[in-house]
Amino acid sequence: MRRRSALAVLVASCAVLPATASAMSETDCAAQWKSADGNNDGVLVGPEADRYLAYYRVRARVTPVDGRITQQDFMKACQSDIFMAKALEPGAPFKGANSFTEGQAKNRIVAAGFTSVSSLAKDGDGVWRGSAMKDGKAAKVAVDFRGNVVSQ
């Protein structure tokens, strides 16, 4: 009886869990590469690379030594979901003890597609707050202890 109850609970809990995301396809990654390599020179460097280098720092903890990302390295990282954006949790930013350094908070903001990040400071709720640009518009941004990046 206990085994059946435990099995029923396990089956029910699996039914409500979200499906795990599968790796990006080669086609999706190729489209992302084409968008990222704006000057079509076969390598991401400087502003082209900034967002993706931030993803490397956030997710892979290892970045290309020279700050350049080749198409081959990009495709490998993309298919390993290094560049997959984290879904924003409803209700973010959350109060809590934030152990991110300023640099780590900035990497998360840049990976979320913002540029010109400035004036980052941790508030009394443990949320990093600052200013940035996105799509040519000024924005206030926040990063909570869970890594959620919120534009306010």
| Averaged pLDDT score across all residues of the chain | 87
* Number of domains observed in the structure of the chain: 2
Residue 96, amino acid: G
* pLDDT value at residue 81: 93
- Rounded to two decimals, the pTM is 0.81
- In this structure, the answer to whether residues 79 and 116 fall within a common structural domain is no
* pLDDT value at residue 86: 86
- In this structure, the answer to whether residues 109 and 72 fall within a common structural domain is no
- In this structure, the answer to whether residues 145 and 108 fall within a common structural domain is yes
Q: How confident is the model at residue 139 (pLDDT cuts 50, 70, 90)?
A: very high
- In this structure, the answer to whether residues 77 and 121 fall within a common structural domain is no
Across residues 114-131, what is the average pLDDT? 97
Structural domain contains residue 147: yes
Q: Is the pLDDT of residue 14 over 50?
A: no
* pLDDT value at residue 63: 83
Cα 118 to chain centroid, rounded: 18
Structural domain contains residue 2: no
Across residues 65-84, what is the average pLDDT? 94
- In this structure, the answer to whether residues 70 and 28 fall within a common structural domain is yes
Q: Is the pLDDT of residue 114 over 80?
A: yes
- In this structure, the answer to whether residues 79 and 27 fall within a common structural domain is yes
- In this structure, the answer to whether residues 55 and 106 fall within a common structural domain is no
- In this structure, the answer to whether residues 61 and 28 fall within a common structural domain is yes
Structural domain contains residue 94: no
* pLDDT value at residue 9: 34
- In this structure, the answer to whether residues 67 and 31 fall within a common structural domain is yes
Residue 110 in contact with residue 61, Cβ under 8 Å?
Answer: no
Across residues 118-127, what is the average pLDDT? 97
Structural domain contains residue 96: no
Boundaries of domain holding 33: 22-84
* pLDDT value at residue 116: 97
* CA nearest to 132, candidates 54, 32, 20, 22: 54
Tell me which of 34, 53, 84 is where a domain ends: 84
* Interval 18-36: pLDDT, tens: 334 557 899 999 999 999 9
- In this structure, the answer to whether residues 33 and 73 fall within a common structural domain is yes
Q: How far apart are CA 136 and CA 39, in angstroms?
A: 19
